[in-house]
Amino acid sequence: MMTLEKFEDATEVVKRVTSSTKLVYSDYLSEQTGGRVFLKPENMQHTGAYKLRGAYYKISTLTEEERSRGLITASAGNHAQGVAYAANAFGCKATIVMPTVTPLIKVNRTKSYGAEVILYGDVYDDACEYATKLAEEKGYTFVHPFDDLDVATGQGTIAMEIVQELPTVDYILVPVGGGGLISGVSTLAKMLNPKIKVVGVEPIEAASMSAALEAGEVVELETANTIADGTAVKAVGKNVFPYVKENVDDMLLVEDDELIGAFLDMVENHKMVVENSGLLSVAALKQLDCRGKKVVCVLSGGNMDVITMSSIVQHGLIQRDRIFSVSVLLPDKPGELVRVAATIAEEQGNVIKLEHNQFVSTNRNAAVELRITMEAFGTEHKHRILEALERKGFRPKHISAKLY
């Protein structure tokens, strides 16, 4: 069982390897919501995520014999690095089975902590099945990513730190994947102060915990397809589910598009990189009545490769009308392009890409197509630019923006 005594022990144990992730007050989010919003930046842990807490505490509870056999787990990212780092700290061997599609940067980082990495299967479930098989064949000790009460106890130390720093917290928002994090956080939070409301947040396309709570038992989704890959779990843990059922006050669902906006908010207002799964708590704020409340959003991780990051930024800028594209038809004669550019410049728009297509019509004197991609300050500014082009007779047609 998860007990207060174990949580207190875990809190002291994990201090050996974790960074002090002090709460960060967010002026921006507080102004947006009317509450006092704080961020718990677990993305700033040495391994880039909270997973180190559970992995290290779990390993600390093992016997010398269990550790000496070697550890094994399956993960595509954060748990892999947490186990690898923790195992290295205890001086024991770790084998991590990762899906073959795992980005190279995550594979190399896991190896850098001294673990042996085996690439197997296309998805986590394949890797987990193979890791379990290896554990049975070779006698390794298996460290589950989320469905283990000692692992969940280690994750729950986050709640101890939150309450110690902000005793009057009203809401704690927690990203939910398999349930290890929220089971630990919610159980300890209720032990420390039953008045604290703990709210879980899932991507709408991978809402396995919401489905389990509705059914009253763990169920398996057909798919879990979301950009919040760290929480793309088809079925939550059976061992941790009873704790979630008892201690979590509500579950909220978030669309992938909302995570894109939340990423921009974090980068621009807090200069922090937070992975999509870690942003679930921030994206859900608009669904909560935060007025006059103290709210803590757990940012569960920040491990995101640069290619994904650049894609998220591009889509976010387009989503918020900071970048947009239009098509205009012009007579094919000198000076027309200058007129368009001057009109955009007068409204302080910034052209970043031009495509000139002379073959849109068989009659080039009648029309050639000009596709313009430009920067704006937002939706209002975008409309001003479009209205200015209309007044000059260009009849702009809004088209899908692409930067490549």
Residue 213, Ramachandran bin (φ over 0: left; ψ between -120 and 50: alpha; else beta): alpha
Quote the CA–CA distance of 393 and 328 in Å, as a whole number.
Answer: 10
User: Which one is catalytic: 51, 58, 106, 197?
Assistant: 51
Token duo for residue 318:
């387009």
- Residues 6+ away with beta carbon under 8 Å from 367: 329, 330, 331, 332, 360, 361
Nearest to 73 by CA among 93, 90, 91: 93
Coil vs helix vs strand at 402: coil
Q: How far is CA 215 from the centre of its chain?
A: 26
Beta strands at 197-203 and 250-254: parallel, antiparallel or unpaired: parallel
Count helices and strands in the chain by DSSP H and E runs: 16, 14
Task: Pull the structure tokens for residue 114.
Answer: 């001294």
Length of the chain: 404
Alpha-carbon distance of 127 to 130, in angstroms, equals 5
Contacts of 88 (CB under 8 A, 6+ apart): 94, 113, 114, 115
Question: Is 300 labeled as catalytic in the residue annotation?
Answer: yes
- Residue in 208, 281, 300, 325 annotated catalytic: 300
112 labelled catalytic: no
Q: 41: which residues sit within 8 A by CB, 6+ positions away?
A: 21, 24, 272, 299
User: What positions carry a catalytic annotation?
Assistant: 51, 300
